[in-house]
Amino acid sequence: MKRIVNTDNAPAPIGPYSQAVQAGQMLFVSGQIAIDPASNELIKGSVGDEARQVMKNLEAILSKAGYTFADVVKTSIFLSDMSYFAEVNEIYGSYFKADFPARETVAAAGLPKNVNVEISVVAYNTSH
C-alpha cells in the first residue's frame, strides 16, 4: 500500500511530486533543496548553509513519516560543483552516527532554482 507523506515543516513541492511516498516499510523522500519552509525562500549564504537547511528539510519529512536518519539506507547527493564535496560531506555526516547508508555523490550541470546542493533519501523501518 502506498501512502503520501507531506509536512508543513519542509518546503512544499515545486512540481508534480510528493515530499515522500511510503510503500510498505520503505520511505522514498524526494530531493530536497535549501528552501526555508517558513518563508518558502531559498537560503542565502554558503554551501554549508544550504546543506544544513537541506538536512533539516529531510529530517522534517522523515519525522512526519515516523522515521529517523538511523532508518536511512540510501542517499543521493547532487552538487553544482564537486569542490563543495568536503564541506557538504562534513555536515551530511553529522546526521549519521553508525551503520551509514549507501550513497552516491555526483556533480550536476543544473539543479532546481540554481542551488548548489540537493539530497534525496530512501529509508527502511520494520515497524511500519
Model confidence pLDDT, tens digit, residues 54-106: 999 999 999 999 999 999 999 999 999 999 999 999 999 999 999 999 999 99
pLDDT classification of 128: cutoffs 50, 70, 90: confident
pLDDT classification of 111: cutoffs 50, 70, 90: very high
Strand 72-79 to 102-107 pairing = parallel
pLDDT classification of 126: cutoffs 50, 70, 90: confident
Strand 20-23 to 26-32 pairing = antiparallel
pLDDT classification of 118: cutoffs 50, 70, 90: very high
Q: In what order do the strands lie in the sheet with 102-107?
A: 2-5, 20-23, 26-32, 117-124, 72-79, 102-107
pLDDT value, residue 1:
86
pLDDT classification of 52: cutoffs 50, 70, 90: very high
Higher pLDDT pick, 14 / 113: 113
Enumerate domains of the chain plus CATH numbers: 2-12+20-124 (3.30.1330.40)
Q: Buried b vs exposed e over 13-25: b needs ≥16 C-beta within 10 Å? A: eeeeebbbbbeee
Q: What is the mean pLDDT of residues 46-51?
A: 97
User: How many CA atoms does the CB half-sphere of 115 hold within 13 Å?
Assistant: 24
